[in-house]
Amino acid sequence: MPTRRPVTVGNFATTFLPVLFFYYTMAVLVQRKHTFQYRLALLPLILCLAFHMGTSLDFSGGSPGHVFLNQGLALAMFTVAMRTITWTFAKEPYRRTGLTYENSDKKRPLSRDHTPDFTLGEAMWNAWDLIMNLRGLGWNWSRTFHIPAPTFHTSSVPFFLAQSIIRLVFYVLAFDIASASIRSFSPDTFGSIRGGSIFDVSLAPIPRYMRASVISVLSAWTAYFIIETVYQIHAIIFVLLFRQRPSQWPPLFDSPWMSTSLAEFWGQKWHQLFRECFTAVGSRPFRHYLGRTGGIFGAFLASGMLHDVGLRGMDRGGDTIAVIGFFMMNALGLTLEYAWKKQTGNKVGGIGGWLWALVWLVTWGNLMVDAWGRTGLVGSDFFPEIYRPSKLILGRFAKYLP
C-alpha cells in the first residue's frame, strides 16, 4: 500500500484533477453512440488514477481521530471505479428523460420514447449532472429505481432551502448525540480511536450480545444520520449555487425502520445511491452464469467490497470476512424470502416480516459494527470537542432548565 502524503494544494491538484478529467470524459462518452472502444481504452487509466488518489493522500491532517476522512476518500474513489466500469460496458447510450435543455437552441423535451443522439455540446453539459447524479434522476438508466415521494412537495426554492437547512441542523445534532451515546458504552475501547470489540467478554453470552445489538442499532442510526447530513449539504449547494430544481433532490430514504422484509429494506427503503453500480458490476455478471440467486449474491458482494475498501482506507486494517459477510448473509436472507414466497405463495410482510428483518439485520450487523469498533472508526473525532453540535445547540438551552 502506498505511503500517504499530507494533502497540499499542489499534490491534490495533480492527483485529483486527472481523475476528474477522465471521469468526466467517460461521462461524456457514455452518452454517445459508437464509443465503446474509447471507453474501454480509458478504463484501466481511470482505475489506476482512482487507486492512486484513494491510497496516496492523507486528509486526516496528522490527527488519528480524523482518519475517517480517508475512509470517505476511499469510498469515493471506489465509487468512481465502479461507475467507470458500469459506463464502459453500458449497452445503450445514456439519455436524459423528461427534461428541457436550456443550453440547447432546440429546447426539446425528451421522453422515454424519444431519445435522439446528443450533440457533443449537450453531452458535455449533461456530463456534469451525470457524474454527481448517483440515482440517475432524469436519466433513462434509472427507470426501475424507487424514488421516495417528498413529505412536503414544493417547487419553491426558498421553501426547499429552508426545509433542507432545518433537516441539516437536525441530522447533524442527531448524529452527534447518537455517536456520543455509542462511545459512552466503552470510552476506553471501541469508543476511542484505539479501538476495541463491542463484545464485552466479561458479560454472560445473552447480556453480551444484547449489549452489542443495542450498539449496532445505534450505529445504524449514525450511518443514517451522516448519510442524510451529506445529502442535505449537497442539496443546498446545488439548488442555491447551481440553480437546480427542488424536484432533483427527492428524499434519499423511505423510512427504512418500517421495512417488513429484507427485500423491502434493501430494494426500496434504504438509500439507492449505488444500485446502478451494484447491479452492473455485481448482479448482472453473476446472474448471467448463476441465475437469479447468483445475481442477488453478486450485488451484495459488490456492496461488501465497497464497505471493506472504505474501512481499509483508514489504514488500520479491517475484517473482510465480517464486513463482506454481513452483506452476503443479507443476500442469503433475501434468498430465503424468495424461497418462502415460492413455497407459500405469500411475500414476507406484516409484523412478522418486520421482526424477521430487524433480527436478521441486527444479528449480522453486529459483525460489521464490531469491525468498525476494532478499527477505531466508532471513536473518531467527528467534531472538535468544543464545537460539538450537541454542546453548542443544547448548551444554549441548558440555562433555562430548572
Tell me the backbone φ, ψ of residue 66, rounded to 5 degrees. Answer: -115, 15
Residues 6 or more apart whose Cβ sits within 8 Å of residue 356: 261, 262, 348
Residue 225 DSSP symbol = H
Name the residue with higher pLDDT: 37 or 99: 37
In one-letter notation, the amino acid at residue 288 is H
Q: Does the pLDDT of residue 109 top 50, yes or no? A: no
pLDDT higher than 80, residue 279:
yes
Q: How confident is the model at residue 395 (pLDDT cuts 50, 70, 90)?
A: low
Average pLDDT, whole number, for the chain?
91
325 has a pLDDT exceeding 80: yes
Write the CB contacts of 283 (distance below 8 Å, at least 6 apart in sequence): 295, 296, 298, 299, 302
What is the distance between the terminal CA atoms of the chain, rounded to a whole angstrom?
Answer: 56
Question: Residue 115: what pLDDT?
Answer: 52
Q: Which amino acid is at 381?
A: D
In the block, residue with C-alpha cell 448548551? 395
Question: pLDDT higher for 118 or 201?
Answer: 201
Q: How does pLDDT run across 206-253, given as a tens digit for each residue?
A: 999 999 999 999 999 999 999 999 999 999 999 999 888 998 999 999
Which pairing describes strands 57-58 and 5-6: parallel, antiparallel, or unpaired?
parallel
**Predicted structure pTM score:** 0.90
Q: Band the pLDDT of 97: cuts 50, 70, 90.
A: confident
Minimal CA–CA distance to 301: which of 270, 265, 325? Answer: 325
Residues whose CB falls within 8 Å of the CB of residue 166, separated by 6 or more in sequence, listed in order: none
Whether 154 contacts 235, CB under 8 Å: no
Residue 204 in this model has a pLDDT that exceeds 60? yes
Predicted pLDDT of residue 1: 56
pLDDT digits (tens, 9 = 90+) for 123-134: 999 999 999 999
What pLDDT, on a 0 to 100 scale, did the predictor assign at position 100?
Answer: 38
Q: Residue 198 in contact with residue 212, Cβ under 8 Å?
A: yes
Q: Say what the pLDDT of residue 367 is.
A: 95
Residue type, 127: A
- pLDDT of residue 334 exceeding 70, the answer is yes
Higher pLDDT, 115 or 257: 257
pLDDT of residue 119: 87
Q: pLDDT-based confidence at 51, cuts 50/70/90?
A: very high
155 pLDDT band (50/70/90 cuts)?
Answer: confident
Rounded distance between C-alpha atoms, residue 203 and residue 106, angstroms: 70
pLDDT confidence bin for 394, thresholds 50/70/90: low
Whether the pLDDT of residue 177 is over 90: the answer is yes
Q: Which residues have C-beta within 8 Å of that of residue 90, sequence separation ≥ 6?
A: 30, 141, 280
Residue 114 is given by DSSP the state B
Which parts of 39-162 are beta strand (E)?
57-58
Mean pLDDT of 176-188: 94
Name the nearest CA neighbour of 148 among 158, 163, 137: 137
How many angstroms separate the Cα of 266 from the Cα of each of 152, 257, 269? 24, 11, 6
